[in-house]
Structure 1
Amino acid sequence: ITSQPIYSHYNVIPVVDVYGGVAARDLGGVISDIKPIIAQAQKNAPRGTNIVLRGQASTMNSSFTGLSIGMLGAIVLIYLLLVVNFQSWLDPFIILTALTGALAGVVWGLHVTSTTLSVPAMMGAIMSLGVATANSVLVVTFARIHLQEGKTPSQAAWEAGTGRLRPVIMTATAMVIGMFPMALGLGDGGEQNAPLGRAVIGGLILATFATLLFVPVVFSLLHRQGVATAATEPKENVPSKDLAEAIPVTSNI
């Protein structure tokens, strides 16, 4: 609490404003601790009294809504752009499978570090999704090249995963090292930006494994299914060479 209660009016309703600040902790963690206290106080409050959390807390909730909508919109837009780039509906879907690993990594990173979900953490999740998408595009592109060279889907996926192993790991490692000081939350105000670094690190760790292991497996399975479907389709009746030679050719001279 940063000041004494202030008596005023809000929309003609008498209110008592109690101001508080956050020190050495992130806003999301403080709100998580305050909500049970407010719920308990609301039960014991006189009839007609409401306890409402406003200020930066309401701003953060509205930011959560905006960032969530933006994240879903970004995923849809990325998928449509990849469809235009690859001229296929299947390969962009394979690329987006790595995003599940990135999102799982964000949740894992925040859970391991006991960090609550906040606006910086959401921004870190969006950053990790971007890097995971770029690495997956790299792997799928090389797999398509090997597939066009006549190799089987399994061989194409294997060579793409092993051939792009070093670039993918180097990209993720550089990003993790760059975010590590931020994740420690050192310095004045460092705890406010620490969730961003922790979300990026957790997301990239699992997204890297998903890109190098899960994406090639999905590519091999789906393209193998496509090859099997194409092989079972009935072929058109084309006259054979022997039948064509047996047909007499007449000409008028």
Structure 2
Amino acid sequence: GGGGSNLEVKVFGYDFDQTNKISEELTQFLKTQTGFKDISVSRDKDKAEIQIIPDRNKLSQLGLNTSILASSVRNRILGYTASKYKEDGTEYDIIVKYDDNYLTTVKDIENMSIIGPRGNIVKLKDIAQIKQMFTTPNVEHENKIRVNKIVTTLQGRDLGSAVDIINQHIKTMNMPKNIFVEVGGAAKDMQDSFKDIAMLFVLIILLVYIVMASQFESLREPFIIMFSVPFAVTGVFLSLFITGTTLNLISGIAIVMLVGIVVKNSIVLIDFTNILRNRGMSISKAITASGKSRLRPILMTSLTTILGMFPLALSTGEGATMWQPMGIAMIGGMVFSLIISLILVPVIYSLFGNSRIKRIRKNIRKNI
């Protein structure tokens, strides 16, 4: 989901002017798009400052040094606590400093009087050079590269569409060769989480298949049962689409959970079909009989899970929006897999069984 998620657009590069220009362009673009709120840039704009560069030769001739010069300038601008004043038990600092009215221009600073250790008075401009500069107040680094971050909060827009809009705009920008842009924050976390979930999904499918293969002592029947998994995932996507819910980390966890749940119905059906086959029934009769016999327990177990998820899917309390996708995904996946277990899995079992019988008969004819 997108409400309240933070999104970072990172502009990497060593050139301040270029990265500031790209950051400003991206900031203005985000301000024109809906769903992006509280847009801020991590790097402050350049600030004007006055630098005092002392002439060390002149300082030494007058018996001064940089420490005396620095403390003299600081005391005249910020003030020096000369003494303390007590009244009615309260103590007040007596601060001596230049009047702010006499510190309004660079000339005022240049004409500031500095008293040396010999009692000699000299103007600041005679012993130092005063320069007006523009400096960047803060510089962030990531992986040893300068970075400027544009941070925004998403409201009424999901994370996926926000990333797509930004990436599409980045492609249209005239990007210098030494500058590159990366989308981070919650978007980066989401991508990493989905990669982990995808890997976990594949691992669980393999583990479930291995467990069923060891129990059925066959590679064919677990393969038939696993057909219910992709259709369960289809049911998840359909339910999320119908309800207007986005695919996020919570619904991704629900997909992983469904792998172990949806194969249960097919296992019950295939296992009983095998028992009937071993008793001498034909494939078609065994499938029909197992369907009639196992319909009720399959419906009962599936409906209990589906109904148990309804409070989670329909809840409106505090924090409900976070867990709703799990309930919706579980219901959609279970409903779809229930239909597939009762219709498609028996059909696939019949096809595999008939093809196996044909191969056996063919081998018998060859031997004869």
Q: State the TM-score, normalized to the length of structure 1.
A: 0.83
1:195, CA displacement in angstroms? 1.7
Residue number among 294, 300, 318 corresponding to 1:170 in the alignment = 300
1:211, CA displacement in angstroms? 0.5
Does residue 1:99 correspond to 2:240, yes or no? no
- Listed one character per residue, the Cα deviations across residues 23-74 of structure 1 (whole Å, up to 9, x for unaligned) are 677xxx2332343145325634663554422122111111111111111111
- Stretches of structure 2 that go unaligned for 5 or more consecutive residues are 1-36, 44-138
Percent of pairs identical after alignment? Answer: 27
Which residue pairs with 1:6 in the alignment?
42
- Equivalent pairs, count: 234
Does residue 1:20 correspond to 2:56, yes or no? no
CA contact (8 A) 2:163 2:187 kept: no
Which residue pairs with 1:246 in the alignment?
none
Which AA in structure 2 matches 1:100? P
Which AA in structure 1 matches 2:281? K
Which residue pairs with 1:244 in the alignment?
none
Distance in 1 between residues matched to 2:223 and 2:163, nearest whole Å: 42
1:20, CA displacement in angstroms? 3.3
Give the structure with the larger strand fraction. 2
Residue number among 221, 224, 233 corresponding to 2:354 in the alignment = 224
Distance in 2 between residues matched to 1:35 and 1:230, nearest whole Å: 55
Which residue pairs with 1:36 in the alignment?
165
Does residue 1:52 correspond to 2:182, yes or no? yes
Distance in 2 between residues matched to 1:23 and 1:196, nearest whole Å: 21
Which residue pairs with 1:243 in the alignment?
none
Does residue 1:81 correspond to 2:117, yes or no? no
Q: Which moved more, 1:89-98 or 1:141-150?
A: 89-98
Report 1:181-220 matches (<5 A).
Answer: 181-184=311-314, 186-220=316-350
Distance in 2 between residues matched to 1:230 and 1:46, nearest whole Å: 67
Q: Which moved more, 1:125-134 or 1:178-187?
A: 178-187
Give the structure with the larger helix fraction. 1
Which AA in structure 2 matches 1:230? I
Distance in 2 between residues matched to 1:39 and 1:170, nearest whole Å: 49
1:231, CA displacement in angstroms? 2.6
1:200, CA displacement in angstroms? 1.0
Q: Of the two, which has the highest radius of gyration?
A: 2
Which AA in structure 2 matches 1:18? I
Does residue 1:63 correspond to 2:99, yes or no? no
Please give the secondary structure, in 1, of the residue aligned with 2:196: helix
Please give the secondary structure, in 1, of the residue aligned with 2:152: coil
CA contact (8 A) 1:143 1:157 kept: yes
Q: Which moved more, 1:45-54 or 1:68-77?
A: 45-54
Q: State the TM-score, normalized to the length of structure 2.
A: 0.58
Which AA in structure 1 matches 2:326? L
Which AA in structure 2 matches 1:205? V
Please give the secondary structure, in 1, of the residue aligned with 2:183: coil
Distance in 1 between residues matched to 2:293 and 2:221, nearest whole Å: 19
1:216, CA displacement in angstroms? 1.1
Which AA in structure 2 matches 1:202? G
Distance in 1 between residues matched to 2:206 and 2:40, nearest whole Å: 49
Please give the secondary structure, in 2, of the residue aligned with 1:131: helix
- Listed one character per residue, the Cα deviations across residues 105-160 of structure 1 (whole Å, up to 9, x for unaligned) are 11211221222221111111122221111111111110101111100011111111
